[in-house]
Amino acid sequence: MASLKTVVATASAIMASTAPGHAGPIGSATALKIDFITIDENITLRRMVSRQGNPNGTVLFLHGFPETLGVWTKITETMGAQYEVHAFDWPGYGQSSRPSPERFSYSPRDYAKVLKAYIDRSGIDRSNLVIYASDIGSLPALLLALEEPAVAKKIIVGDFAPFNRPHWMYESLQNLKAEPTATPTRAYMNKTSDEILENVHRRGLAPENQFDLPSEVLSDMKESWMRDGVTTADAFAFYYAHFTRDEDYLEANLSRLKTPIKVIWGEKDIYIKPEMGKEFANRTGSKFAVLKGIGHFPHLQDPARTVDEVRRAFAD
């Protein structure tokens, strides 16, 4: 595995590029380690872990498009004094593997298998685990919970598409699902990658609510956009090519979903409307919270709320 070329920001320090398997301490309250973990012959994941003695539980953060594990760094530093915290780059993102789609489909179903393998290989205690999943991370977490209800103490999901409801989805997302629109949409996303990375988190927000990404987080996403001949947009398109199948499977099996769920949604999410989250919460009997003035990326726009949600999940 090539050495890390990215720089990940934290509230108190900066961790410069490191060789796989080694990272320096960050901050006085917690030490973050970035290394790599092998899932199978096709997949190796870059991960970030904060481990402390006698943690109150374990948190696993799952990012969305076009993010990397870097989006969780400040939150991890905040929570690391009390909890064991994990985050990783999905295949096709950050510094994780990017096999050809013939070797790995990038589907939500296969991401669920990666998630299960990560939990197993990391030795995580499922009985006291909270999974916080955003965007593309949410459906894989729920698909895994269908098969293994005891996978976590609680799963928090939000700003994703559990069901095939085109009228509640951004047009370009729907266009990725099938031809003839999928290929040109994917090509356009690759052509406009800089604009996507600069502005995807701002869209739909009033000027007073718009925010900038930390420069190190943006750099990590830009520098890892293309690796091994696969871009982040390619991985996203591969995921969406299987999305309807896996959405339909989830909807057909909702009665099997026994893991406690909390649904949170940005009120101003223009990519996937809050109505999607409301329907999912109603049909699963889950608590549903709409975050006022928040867009598609609550953990970036209001990280303190994310920390509070996770702490509440352990208290529940």
pLDDT band for 17, please (50, 70, 90 cuts). very low
* Residue 2 burial by Cβ neighbours in a 10 Å radius (0-12, 13-18, 19+): exposed
Write down the domain spans for the chain.
8-315
Please give the pLDDT value at position 19: 31
Beta bridge partners of 227: 230
Given the structure tokens 């900066």, which residue do they identify? 14
| Section 293-309 average pLDDT | 97
- pTM, two decimals, is 0.91
| Section 263-289 average pLDDT | 98
Please give the pLDDT value at position 30: 54
Please give the pLDDT value at position 52: 83
What are the structure tokens assigned to 181, written together?
């629109």
Asked if the model's pLDDT at residue 23 lies above 50, the reply is no
Please give the pLDDT value at position 16: 34
- Percentage of residues in the chain having pLDDT higher than 70: 91
Calculated CA dihedral for residues 218, 223, 227, 233, nearest 10 degrees: 40
The CA R_g of the chain, rounded to the nearest whole Å, is: 18
- Percentage of residues in the chain having pLDDT higher than 90: 88
Q: How far is CA 84 from CA 25, 29, 30, 56, 175, in A?
A: 15, 13, 10, 8, 39
Q: What is the rounded average pLDDT for all residues in the chain?
A: 91
Query: Which amino acid type is present at position 3?
Result: S
Of 14 and 271, which is predicted with more confidence?
A: 271
pLDDT digits (tens, 9 = 90+) for 48-94: 999 988 899 999 999 999 999 999 999 999 999 999 999 999 999 99
pLDDT band for 31, please (50, 70, 90 cuts). confident
Asked if the model's pLDDT at residue 111 lies above 50, the reply is yes
Contacts of residue 188, Cβ cutoff 8 Å, sequence gap at least 6: none
Of 26 and 33, which is predicted with more confidence?
A: 33
Fold for 8-315, please state it.
Rossmann fold (3.40.50)
Residue 293 Ramachandran class (φ > 0 left, ψ -120 to 50 alpha, else beta): left
Please give the pLDDT value at position 242: 97
Please give the pLDDT value at position 53: 84
What are the structure tokens assigned to 124, written together?
């995580």
Asked if the model's pLDDT at residue 150 lies above 50, the reply is yes
pLDDT digits (tens, 9 = 90+) for 166-223: 999 999 999 999 999 999 999 999 999 999 999 999 999 999 999 999 999 999 999 9
